[in-house]
Structures are given as C-alpha cells and as structure tokens.
Structure 1
Amino acid sequence: MRRHGLRFPCPSRADGRPLSIAHRGASAHAAENTLEAFRVAAGLGADMWEIDVHLTRDGVAVISHDPALGHTVGVDARIEALDLADLRALAPDMPTLDETIALASKLGQALYVEVKARGAGAVTIRRLMAAGFQSAVLGSFMIDEVRDLVDAVCPFPVSVLVPLGMDPFALAAQTGADIIHLCWERGGERPQDLVTQVLLQQARELDLGIVLWHEARRAVLDELIDMPVLGICTNNPEMMARLDPLRALGIQTVFHRGANRFAPENTVSAGRLAFELGADYLELDVRQSADGALVVIHDATVDRTTNGTGRVADMTLSELRALDAGSWFSRFHSGEKLPTLREMIALCQSYGRQMYIEIKAADPVNVIALVEEMGFLADCFFWSHDTEILRNVRAVSHNARIRSTATDYPTLDILKAHLGPAIVEFHPDDFCQRAAECRALGMTPMLQYFGEDPEIFRQILLLRPPMLNLDRADLLLAACAGGKLAGDSHGNAIRDAG
C-alpha cells in the first residue's frame, strides 16, 4: 500500500490468491445489494462484498447502486430526496450500511465500499469505526471523494476506480489512492490482456494494490485468478470458490438436487450453479408426465415447488412447463421452469460432468432409452426407493451403473450379488467401518451426509471418501477454506454422527 502503516490493512487470503469480491453481493443469484445477495455470496465462498453507498436526506448511509429507485422498485424518486422512513416504505429490501456491517461481522466477510455520493465516505468511516469493523476498503469513481478520504487519513485502504481508457497511474497520483481498481470489463473479449506485465510492475514499484473488474466469463476469470492482484469482483463468487482441490484428494462431489441452497431445487439454475461450484455429479429426481415425458421434480405433486397444484403423473408436459418453479424459492427466481431430463443431461454434457438419476416414478425403459440416445449411459448412475424399478433398470441394461444402500442388506456380499451395483452409499457411521470392504469387492463407496454440522464436514475431508453426496455445498466450501485438506484418516465426529 502506498500509505504505509494503515491502521487497518487491506484484507487478504492466507493462500495468497486474489480476494473473491462479490459484486453487489451474489448479484447473479439474488437481487443486487440486498442482505439476501450478501448472504448468498458468503455461502458461495466470497471473501468480500462490493457494496454501493448513498445517503438519504437525513444522512443515513444506505446500499444501492443507483441514486434513484426506478431500477429496483420502479418508483421515480431519488434516495437523497427521501428520509430513511420514507425510503423504507418504498424500498423495504434496501439495507442500511449499519445492517450490512452487522451481517458482514456475523458471517466473517470483508466490505469493499464504493462511495456513490459526496460525503458518503466520511459517513462510512464513522459507521465502520462505531461498529469496530476493520476489514474494509473504500473507493470511488469520484476523484474529489477519493482525495478527501486520503486527506482525512482514512484508516482503511482507499481505491480509485479507473474507467476504461483512463490512465490508472495518473489517477493514483492525482488522488493519493492506495489501490487502482481497473473497471475494464468492457475491454473486448480478452480484457485480461490489458493487465500487462508492464502495468503490474509499475504498480509494484509505486506500492499500488490492484483490484480488477466484475467478471463472469470463465475463460477470462481463470486467467485473472493467477494474476498478482488483491482481488477480483464478480457477480458469480462461486466461479472463484470452486471445489476443484477436492479432486486432488480423490473426492468426487454429488450435489443433491443441485445447489439447492442457492437456487430452486431440481432446476437448470440449481444444476448450473452446482457445476460452477465444481460438482462432479448432479443428483436429480425423475418422474413421468401423463403424456410420457420425463420431467425433473422430487415430489409426486407440484404443490411444494411450483405455483400449481396436482399430481405430476396427471399433468401433461405442456401443463407442467406452464408452471412457475422458482417463485416459491425467491422472487429473483420467478419464472423458472420445470426441466425435462433431456435438458438436464444436455446441461451436464455442456460442462463435461456426470449425473445421479433417482427414478421416483418413471418407466425405466424410457429412462434408459433417453440416456442411451444421448450417449450418456457411462456418465450416470441410477437409484430408486422402489426395488422393482432398480430390477427393471438392470433388466433393461447390463451396463447401467446402479447405486445400492449399504443399510438395506445384511452383508456387502449379498448387496453385490443382488443387482451388481457400481456404487454403494453409506451413512457416516457405517462408512468408517465398511468402506474398505466395499472397495475390496470392486464397488465404490459413497458417503452421504445431508446434515449441517461444520465439524463433520471437516472430518469428511480427512476421510477422503471417493464420492460425497451432500446437501450443503456452502458448508463443504467453508470446510475447504478453513481447514487442512489432508491429515489423519480417522474422524471421531464422523463415527459419532450416526
């Protein structure tokens, strides 16, 4: 940092990688600059939230990108012209800075504050200090505001936001900022090429930190992550907080109904998010419509996860597709559709990933026919609560991979002889005792844990199961970030979990 001896230094990661700065929260998955967007960002592995601060007429700092309410609530009114009480009546989901600071403190997140209104920087400093909050950066496009922060000896690092085409070093010299924030996302298909070695070296020589624009293009982001910068903004923090390190430990992850904590279960959104987080397998549930279509939904009725009512088996595909399968989860996901199995297989194939198909109520002949038509048989495995369905899967296809449950059989020998499964699911207490025997019989043990105990997730990493079927991807991310990924192969918490 240019201003040496800052009272509160810039936040950083222990592993030296750039900070994942969630742009207006996880704004690809929740309404931007809301407490929900910030909660989702934390769950998706963000280190820091980028927030925009305006001032109400009565001087309260609130979080909003725009100075007016037209974009968020469709009201023609400016924040600066409203007292907080009036603003809350019009935009109840708009948080105050104090509320955001409190949530960041609770969730262990840092704050990257873009000052949007003159004078909001000084108010932000006072509120941060009053809350005892130390992990923050303040910045702005407004040159005078940045200069005022530096002249006031802001105890937090100060950044100047640099539009495309502007000289970042000239702006740094003009303002005295500690950080140049390069807002160059519109710099063509390869904006990363604008961050040259010459630029990086000059920043080092001037003791300037670098923060990069909000990015959601996988190819671009993969190159940015390797750069020696402080942080990268993104609407999709999951793209920086992936589970890829688990593969080095031989652990394949199975996401139950997709990333169902962050998107409506069994939807394309939940599947896509699971893969962006690094899931190896997408688990989903298949039922058959009245006209024989294979649709993805867990329940026998549409009542819980759509805006409709009735049994799936009594409705045609057209009727099912007319339903809203997202608004029950959040307003942000309103309009999400029930997907077909064909669509979800295509999604898996686009990512080069695999699928765990639970057949709830569908003809196995139709399921296997579709899977084979799409060339997907080797990339999926099957299970059903209905043993007759599984027997029919095996009768239809000798090559289909089947999953069995260890607790359904007195011995693993009997289990293997029944359907010749490729994968055997164990609950935590059984895994420690029987996984080795399962491997010796030529079957892959899969540990299933749908609980929420962070300590058990840490112990699971020590066990290194070859497959892990989980419901809480956020807790697995937290375990990966907060604990060692190698160590003793025994876990008391696992053995006590049953």
Structure 2
Amino acid sequence: MTRRPENTEPWPLATGEPACIAHRGASAHAPENTLSAFRTAAELGAEMWEIDVQLTADGVPVITHDANLKRIAGIDRAIADLRFERLRDLAPDIPTLGETLDLAASLDQALYIELKAEGAGRIAWNHLLANGFDRAVLGSFSMDEVRSLADAGCPFPLSTLVPLGADPFSRAAETRADIIHLCWERGGGERPQDQVDAALLQRAKDEGLDVVLWHEERKPVLEALMELPVLGICTNQPELMRGFDRFAGLATEIVCHRGANHFAPENTLAAARLSFDQGARYVEIDVHMSADGEIVVIHDATLDRTTTGAGPVSAHNLAELKSLSAGAWFSPFYAAETIPTLGEMIALARSRDARLYIENKTVDAKALVDFVRSEDFLADCFFWSEDPALQEGMRREAPDANIKAAAGRYQNVTEMENHLAPQLAEIHYPDYARLGPRYLEKGIIPMMQYFGEDPAVFDRIVVMAPPMINLDRADLLAAALRRRICDDR
C-alpha cells in the first residue's frame, strides 16, 4: 500500500492467495457477529474476521451489524440509546470489541473492522493500541469516518466500502483510503466476478490501491474470484475457500462421521451439507425405520438425545418424526433442522457429486439395499452394521454392494474375506500402520478411523496419507495439511 506509507501498517496477512475473511464470522453456521461465529470461522480455515462495530450510549464498542436490536434479539431498541450493562441484559451474545480482540489474539486471527457508528473509528483505533493488536484493518461505507481517520494519521490500513453503482476511485480519493472494498455481490448476474475486470485491477495498481471483495457463497464465483490479484474475499462460509479441494494432490478420501458434527447437529442435512462444502467425499449416516416404513437418518434407536421427541423412532410415523426439531439440542441456531429421510440424504449427496457411508442400525437388510438400489445409488455408497445379522443380510441381498468390515473383529484378512468379501476395512488409528498395508495388498481399501482431536495425531495422519479416513473433525485434518504446506515453504 502506498497512499499513506509514512503512517500505515501493512496488510496483516501474507497467505500467497486472497485471504479468507469470514463475514460476521462463519455466519452460515452460527449467529452472526458472535464469539461462536468467530471461533467457528477460525476452525474452518479463515484467517480474518469481518466484524461490525456499533457504540452504546456510554461509548462501549460492541460487535453487531444493525443499529437496532429488532432483527437479532426481537427488541425494538437502538443500541446507541442503551448503556452497555443494559445491552448485555437484553442481548448477552453481543460481544464487546475487547472480547473479540482477546479471542482473535488467542486464535491468531486478523480483524477487518467495519465501522458502523459515527466516531467508532477513533474508539476502535484506541482499543487496538491499548491491546497491542496490530493485525487489523479499519473500514466503512461512511466516507467521513474513513477520511477522519486518515486525516488523524491512523496507523492501520483504511478501507472504503463501495456500494454497487459507486465509483471506487473517487471514493478512495476523497477518503485517502488504502483499500477499495467492492460490495458488488448483487451486480453482474450469475457472473459478478466480471465486474472486477483487468482495467479496474490495473487502475487500482497504478493508483496504489489494494482491493477486497464482497461476501460470496456461490462456489463457482468464489473459485473465479480466488484467481484474482486481490487482498481478500469475504464469505459467510470459510469452508468454501479453505476446503480440501485447495490441497493439490491430496489422495485421502474424507469420510465425515455423522456429518460435520462439531459444527452442526449430527445426522442432519446441515451437518452433511457442511461436510460436502469442506470437500468431504463421504458422509457417514445412521438409519432406522419409522412406524410407517420410511427409512430415516438418526443415530439412536430413541428420539430423546438428539430431538425434541421421546421414545423409540420405530413407534412414530414419518409425519410425527418430521414435526420434531433435530437441531435445537445442539444450538437454537439449528432449531429448524428436522430428521432427514435417507432419500433426502441421497439427493443431497447426488447434488454435490458425493457419496454416503450408511450404517444400518435397525432397518431390514433387504428393505435397505432395495431402497438404495431403487435410487440408483448402490455404487455411490457403502454399508456397515454393528449387528452381524444385518451385516450378513446386506451382503446376501446385494452381492454387488460395497460393504465395510471392521478389521478388529477378525483374526486376519483371509477370515474377513471369507466372511463378507468386503470392499473396505476400517482400521483404528493405532493399528493402521501395521494393518493398512496388508489389506491394501489384498485389494481391500483400508479406511483409518480416528475420532479424536489431537493436532499432533493429525500431523502424523497427514504423513501416513491413508486412502480413506473416517473422522469427526475434518477441520483439524485440514489445519494439519495447512501446517504441512507452511512447513514445506
């Protein structure tokens, strides 16, 4: 940046590609502008959080987009009219800037601070200095706010947010900003990236300006934007920018156990969708049958743990099961999630060109494989059951099905082959180095299982590079892969 070189800190990231800026945190997966959304963003691979700063009546900088509490708390009160203690009573999830700075420092995250309230810039600047936090950018749609910071010699990079239809270069000239942030997601139809053409980028370079782009959640658009020479891109879904597709040559197929169950309620469409957006090849799901013969996705035989219902799954028809929340137990954010049918899960997987690992808990073996065959999905999934009768029944009813066996249940490979002729063998992490090569030699795919959260173990898994891995925390494997890339550099 060259517009104020005597004063300005550099852009606080050096990723070698556009930075992933989590828009209001990972706001697709947790309530926007909350500590939960910020922590989730970091876990999903973001390097920076976009946060919005409002001021309370007593001048406390708080992180929330709207000036009024109506949308996020259902209370028609202006934040500027409330003292902080009262605001905290009414909306306890709204964090202060100080709390957000502490979390960002602990998670090694930079901040892209959008100033919403008049005068918020000087207060935010003072908070950054007082906390010794230098990995920040300050920006606003308000040209007066940005210009006042430039005139006062603010040492942090300054960004002018540019609405659709406005001239970014005249706004930069009027504000003395270092960055033009193009908020043009609603322009350009299905190809908004075409608005950021070579002429615009060259002029920005000639004028000593850098570019940040709007929040984007359309995968093809994001992929095009990530090829541009820009500082960063905002997104509600960091996993779309930092998923497994970013690791060239990755040979391991990811299987997410009950979906992305760390971030979303297990065995729901939300958990499966997030897994696929992370780049998982498979999602593991559990199936039972309803009272009226529908195959539904839920782990337990009873409803009590993961839904608002009670009693056996098999005692309720599909309409009754669909009336329950399958996400409220996990977070109010997911209260609208319902128990999916197997058909819905298959449709989601097919829409993402992905696959399923179906664990049969209680469904009649013939009924299950017949249903999957009727969906023309037999080649795109594999089966397993803890119940030996169901496991053997699925193999008997579908000789052409992909069956997984558990290596720990057999004395050797030959015994497993003679019993089930499986296509996959699941091997627990501690046994993988010893057993994995034996199954691979026999043409059986060894799938490592690791449901832990130890970063050191994930570092070792990256080196081992199993053909498949079944895990709870795909995000931790992605983080280990990023560490490996940084070490190689």
- TM-score, normalisation: structure 2: 0.97
Match of 1:415, SS? helix
Cα 1:247–1:319 change in 2 (3 A) is farther
Q: Distance in 2 between matches of 1:74 and 1:447?
A: 47
> Would you say 1:24 and 2:46 are equivalent positions?
no
Deviations 1:218-272 (A, max 9, x none): 1211111111100001111111111124572311000000111111110011111
Root-mean-square deviation (CA, aligned residues, Å) is 1.3
Match of 2:181, SS? strand
8 A Cα contact 2:79 2:87, kept in partner = yes
Deviation at 1:108, TM superposition (A): 1.4
Tell me the residue number matched to 1:107: 107
> Would you say 1:69 and 2:65 are equivalent positions?
no
Deviations 1:16-70 (A, max 9, x none): 1111111111111111111111111112111111110011111100011111111
Tell me the residue number matched to 1:322: 323
8 A Cα contact 1:56 1:82, kept in partner = yes
Q: Distance in 2 between matches of 1:120 and 1:247?
A: 43
Tell me the residue number matched to 1:45: 45
Q: Distance in 1 between matches of 2:7 and 2:388?
A: 65
Matches within 5 A, 1:77-476: 77-187=77-187, 188-246=189-247, 248-476=249-477
Deviations 1:139-190 (A, max 9, x none): 0011111011111221211100001111111111111101000000110221
Match of 1:144, SS? helix
Residue correspondences, number: 486
Cα 1:486–1:147 change in 2 (3 A) is closer
Q: Distance in 2 between matches of 1:196 and 1:294?
A: 50
Q: Distance in 2 between matches of 1:111 and 1:480?
A: 24
- For 1:423, the aligned partner's letter is L
Tell me the residue number matched to 1:33: 33
Q: Distance in 1 between matches of 2:67 and 2:484?
A: 42
Q: Distance in 1 between matches of 2:201 and 2:8?
A: 25
Match of 2:403, SS? strand
Q: Distance in 2 between matches of 1:245 and 1:464?
A: 16
8 A Cα contact 1:461 1:486, kept in partner = no
Deviation at 1:420, TM superposition (A): 0.4
Q: Distance in 1 between matches of 2:246 and 2:10?
A: 29
Cα 1:168–1:237 change in 2 (3 A) is same
Match of 1:112, SS? strand
Deviations 1:58-112 (A, max 9, x none): 1100011111111111212111111101111111111110011111111111110
- For 1:315, the aligned partner's letter is H
Deviation at 1:477, TM superposition (A): 2.1
8 A Cα contact 2:252 2:465, kept in partner = yes
Deviation at 1:474, TM superposition (A): 2.0
Tell me the residue number matched to 1:492: none
Deviation at 1:484, TM superposition (A): 3.2
Cα 1:280–1:193 change in 2 (3 A) is same
Structure 2: where are the runs of 5+ without partners?
none
Match of 1:228, SS? coil
Q: Distance in 2 between matches of 1:151 and 1:370?
A: 68
Deviation at 1:191, TM superposition (A): 1.1
Deviation at 1:11, TM superposition (A): 2.1
- For 2:27, the aligned partner's letter is S
Deviations 1:407-463 (A, max 9, x none): 111111211221000001111121111211111111001111100100111111111
- For 1:40, the aligned partner's letter is T
8 A Cα contact 2:13 2:110, kept in partner = no
- For 2:43, the aligned partner's letter is G
- For 1:135, the aligned partner's letter is R
8 A Cα contact 2:358 2:382, kept in partner = yes
Q: Distance in 1 between matches of 2:290 and 2:64?
A: 44
- For 1:166, the aligned partner's letter is A
Deviation at 1:486, TM superposition (A): 9.8
Q: Distance in 2 between matches of 1:152 and 1:468?
A: 54
Deviations 1:343-393 (A, max 9, x none): 001100001111100001111111111111111111100111111111000
Deviations 1:127-148 (A, max 9, x none): 1111111211100011111011
Structure 1: where are the runs of 5+ without partners?
488-498
- For 2:354, the aligned partner's letter is R
Q: Distance in 1 between matches of 2:108 and 2:6?
A: 24
8 A Cα contact 2:285 2:359, kept in partner = yes
Match of 1:150, SS? helix
**Which stretch has the larger CA shift, 3-12 or 259-268?**
3-12
Q: Distance in 1 between matches of 2:390 and 2:14?
A: 49
Q: Distance in 2 between matches of 1:466 and 1:264?
A: 27
8 A Cα contact 1:21 1:46, kept in partner = yes
Deviation at 1:4, TM superposition (A): 2.2
- For 2:257, the aligned partner's letter is H
Q: Distance in 2 between matches of 1:165 and 1:156?
A: 27
Q: Distance in 2 between matches of 1:462 and 1:156?
A: 40
8 A Cα contact 1:326 1:334, kept in partner = yes
- For 1:87, the aligned partner's letter is L
Deviation at 1:322, TM superposition (A): 1.0
8 A Cα contact 1:462 1:486, kept in partner = no
8 A Cα contact 2:259 2:285, kept in partner = yes
Match of 1:200, SS? helix
> Would you say 1:58 and 2:58 are equivalent positions?
yes
Match of 1:361, SS? coil
Match of 1:248, SS? coil
Deviation at 1:13, TM superposition (A): 3.8
8 A Cα contact 1:462 1:485, kept in partner = no
Deviation at 1:7, TM superposition (A): 5.4
